[in-house]
């Protein structure tokens, strides 16, 4: 049995992580930690877990927790994980960080976009970006896995085959994405109150959203050249889900068969990417670890429109984190993650 600790267990991503792990018969939950609720039962905070996960929440003392844990999930806001993780810890344990601290490969880029100091820059190079469809081989041998963001997962996977196979003009990419309110986390914010969000749609983080350099980093690696995108996220009055609509100009001479071959070459056999004949909708993936991807070519303008949909708390956070754990510890990659959308 693999012993698992979750630090930040009572946030939306953390609680979804506990939910998935509680169904995993290859692991044992060794510690659930929450600074805000230490000393209280997890099922007291989330009564839906009553008689299923009644563990008492602990303070997040990572050194003590590491003594009897094989893997530590960090479901924390940015800026915290880099102060907790050390090279000594990583010699013996696997750390999967659901936050942003180890996703970006350049310290200065991280500090510029996140407006905070990176506390362990010497570890950045050893971190593997935890997108299994792209980095599976490296994930298998890594002790520090940077779980991707939700917007980034959805957008990168929708565009990756087009850049890997050189089918689009990389300077023309526009990503228009929508997210449910849970993507903003469980913390109290006036802008996320029901009366502020209901019956409204708004753009935010225009030309400044922190997921932008993460998307550009991975798309640049796929293209073999620097990629710059226009990324605009929107908040939708729903609980969960992300839809990314991605636009780009096709290169001259590219045919639809070339596009179809590229997507199949990248994703045939991938357990959690579905190349859908239907235009993706968030309800088709709600409660699952799938990303549904489809595309349409506008022959009139020469553009391709690639669309991806995920559940932001699962494939965009907790589910992908468990997928990474499964890979790192030799489990079936689908373990505890199979299922169809909640109707």
> Are residues 278 and 322 located together in one domain of the fold?
no
Lowest mean pLDDT among 77-86, 100-109, 151-160, 186-195: 186-195
Per-residue burial over 41-67, b if 16 or more Cβ lie within 10 Å, else e, is bbbebbeebeeebebebbebebeebbe
> Are residues 7 and 156 located together in one domain of the fold?
no
Q: What is the pLDDT of residue 274?
A: 98
**Distances 161 to 108, 193, 196, 209, 289 between C-alpha atoms, Å:** 28, 38, 38, 24, 20
Beta-sheet strand order (sheet of 174-179)? 202-203, 230-235, 174-179, 242-249, 303-310, 291-298, 273-275
Q: What is the pLDDT of residues 266-281, one digit of tens each?
A: 999 999 999 999 999 9
pLDDT surpassing 80 at residue 342? no
If we measure between CA atoms, which residue out of 65, 109, 119 comes closest to residue 89?
65
pLDDT surpassing 90 at residue 315? yes
Count the alpha carbons within 13 Å of 103 in the hemisphere toward its beta carbon. 28
> Are residues 215 and 192 located together in one domain of the fold?
yes
Q: What is the pLDDT of residues 318-332, one digit of tens each?
A: 999 999 999 999 999
Position 333 in a domain: no
Position 69 in a domain: yes
pLDDT surpassing 80 at residue 188? no
Position 335 in a domain: no
Beta-sheet strand order (sheet of 94-97)? 27-33, 2-7, 71-74, 94-97, 144-146, 128-129
Position 342 in a domain: no
Residues 320/15, Cβ–Cβ less than 8 Å: no
Averaged over 57-77, what is the pLDDT?
95
C-alpha dihedral, 179 to 184 to 186 to 187, nearest 10° = -160
Question: Annotated catalytic sites, by residue?
Answer: 150
Q: What is the pLDDT of residue 29?
A: 97
In terms of residues, how long is the chain? 343
pLDDT band at residue 133 using 50, 70 and 90 as cut-offs: very high
Position 79 in a domain: yes
Position 341 in a domain: no
- CATH number of the CATH domain containing 229: 3.30.360.10
Residues 322/267, Cβ–Cβ less than 8 Å: no
pLDDT surpassing 90 at residue 156? yes
Q: What is the pLDDT of residue 186?
A: 80
> Are residues 58 and 103 located together in one domain of the fold?
yes
> Are residues 53 and 179 located together in one domain of the fold?
no
> Are residues 11 and 32 located together in one domain of the fold?
yes
Three-state DSSP class for 242? strand
Structure tokens at 210: 């922190």
If we measure between CA atoms, which residue out of 62, 239, 87, 213 comes closest to residue 148?
213
Question: Residue 6 — left, alpha, or beta (φ > 0 → left; ψ -120 to 50 → alpha)?
Answer: beta
> Are residues 197 and 103 located together in one domain of the fold?
no
Q: Which single residue is written with the structure tokens 């013996």? A: 92
Averaged over 243-249, what is the pLDDT?
98
Residues 259/184, Cβ–Cβ less than 8 Å: no
Position 191 in a domain: yes
Position 337 in a domain: no
> Are residues 303 and 239 located together in one domain of the fold?
yes
pLDDT band at residue 200 using 50, 70 and 90 as cut-offs: very high
Percent of the chain with pLDDT over 90: 93
Work out the angle between the directed axes of helices 132-140 and 318-328 (0-180°, nearest 10): 40
Average model confidence (pLDDT) across the chain? 96
The domain containing residue 218 runs over which residues?
Answer: 151-310
> Are residues 101 and 163 located together in one domain of the fold?
no
Q: How many domains does the chain have?
A: 2
> Are residues 322 and 245 located together in one domain of the fold?
no
Residue 260, number of CB atoms within 10 A of its CB: 13
pLDDT surpassing 80 at residue 246? yes
> Are residues 228 and 322 located together in one domain of the fold?
no
- CATH number of the CATH domain containing 54: 3.40.50.720
Residues 105/83, Cβ–Cβ less than 8 Å: no
Averaged over 294-311, what is the pLDDT?
98
pLDDT band at residue 183 using 50, 70 and 90 as cut-offs: confident
Q: Give the C-alpha separation, 109 to 29, whole Å.
A: 35
> Are residues 19 and 42 located together in one domain of the fold?
yes
């Amino acid at each position: 049995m693999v012993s698992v600790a979750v630090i930040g267990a009572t946030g939306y991503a953390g609680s979804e992580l506990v939910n998935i792990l509680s169904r995993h018969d290859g692991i044992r939950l060794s510690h659930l930690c929450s600074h805000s609720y230490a000393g209280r039962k997890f099922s007291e905070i989330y009564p839906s877990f009553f008689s299923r996960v009644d563990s008492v929440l602990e303070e997040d003392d990572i050194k003590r927790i590491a003594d009897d844990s094989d893997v530590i999930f960090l479901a924390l806001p940015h800026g915290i994980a880099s102060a907790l993780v050390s090279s000594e810890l990583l010699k013996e344990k696997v750390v999967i960080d659901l936050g942003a601290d180890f996703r970006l490969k350049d310290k200065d880029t991280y500090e510029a976009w996140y407006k905070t100091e990176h506390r362990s820059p010497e570890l950045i190079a050893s971190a593997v970006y935890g997108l299994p469809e792209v980095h599976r081989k490296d994930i298998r041998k890594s002790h520090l896995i940077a779980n991707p963001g939700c917007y980034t997962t959805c957008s990168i996977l929708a565009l990756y085959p087009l850049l890997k196979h050189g089918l689009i003009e990389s300077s023309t990419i526009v990503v228009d994405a929508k997210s449910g309110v849970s993507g903003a986390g469980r913390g109290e914010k006036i802008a996320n109150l029901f009366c502020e969000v209901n019956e409204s749609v708004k753009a935010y983080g225009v030309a400044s959203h922190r997921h932008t350099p993460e998307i550009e980093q991975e798309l640049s690696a796929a293209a073999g050249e620097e990629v710059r995108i226009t990324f605009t996220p929107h908040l939708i009055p729903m609980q969960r889900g992300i839809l990314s609509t991605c636009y780009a100009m096709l290169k001259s001479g590219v045919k639809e068969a070339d596009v179809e071959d590229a997507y199949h070459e990248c994703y045939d056999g991938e357990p959690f990417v579905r190349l859908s004949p239907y235009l993706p909708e968030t309800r088709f993936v709600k409660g699952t670890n799938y990303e549904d991807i489809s595309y349409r070519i506008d022959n009139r303008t020469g553009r391709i429109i690639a669309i991806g949909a995920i559940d932001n708390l699962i494939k965009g956070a907790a589910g992908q984190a468990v997928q990474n754990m499964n890979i790192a510890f030799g489990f079936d990659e689908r373990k505890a993650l199979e299922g169809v959308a909640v109707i």
